[in-house]
Amino acid sequence: MNRDRAKRYAISVWKEWRITVFLIVFVLIPAKSSLADWNWVPTGSMNPTILEGDFLFVNKVAYSLRLPLTLCHLAKWSDPQRADIVICFSPEDGTRLVKRVVGVPGDMIEMRRKKLVLNGQALDYTVTGLEYIEGGSVDRARILATEDLSGVAHTVAWMPGFGEPQSFGPIEVPQGHYFVMGDNRDASKDSRTFGFVQRKAIVGKAGAVVCSFDITDKYQPRFKRFFNSLK
């Protein structure tokens, strides 16, 4: 008797929720996987462009259409360009990352004292400010500068004499791969550490900050960052 009652209850629940389950499994999940998604940013590797606690809109059809829940491309119409902010998977451990493309296939990348050289041409940098960041017993000076990467001006930050390698290269970006970096140059684990990112591991382009919450201050909303486009 109890078994029959449980069976009838299960059938009634299924009839009530089957449309919702169908929409989630066959519509929402595939759309989130292949068309559009959001990405919460827990770290400061892209600070000051993207802050800890930002929620990003991710356009997953910016470059191609993928088979849902896979990295297989069904169609491709473009490739990531220099200065694009992309969502990719780390070749080291598969972690989902938000980084900026600084080198495309065939580019020669070099860094001299934390400033990039692209195909033999040093990028233009304009220092815009100086901040002091708490770092243990002493404060460290952080330089803010505008970097011009293929005509896209964006803010980067670094701390003199600290962080990731200050100089490297030149190295050539192989075909089918990309060199990515964080705008917070001394607090970003990127291609300087884990190497080039394969094209298939880039799954979308970050287009805007949808909303933002300050994780250092009880998740207070940062209303000025809501619906801000990224560059």
Catalytic residues: 45, 99
Give alpha helix (H) positions in the chain: 2-23, 29-34, 191-194
DSSP 85-107: EEEEE-TTT--EEEEEEEE-TT-
Answer whether 198's CB lies under 8 Å from 177's CB.
yes
Give the residue from 200, 164, 194 showing the smallest Cα distance to 179: 194
d(CA 187, CA 158): 8
Query: E-assigned strands of the chain?
Result: 36-40, 54-59, 64-66, 73-76, 85-89, 96-103, 108-112, 115-118, 121-122, 124-135, 138-149, 152-158, 168-172, 177-181, 197-198, 202-214, 220-221, 228-229
Residue owning tokens 């190295």: 171
Phi, psi of 126 (to 5 degrees): -125, 115
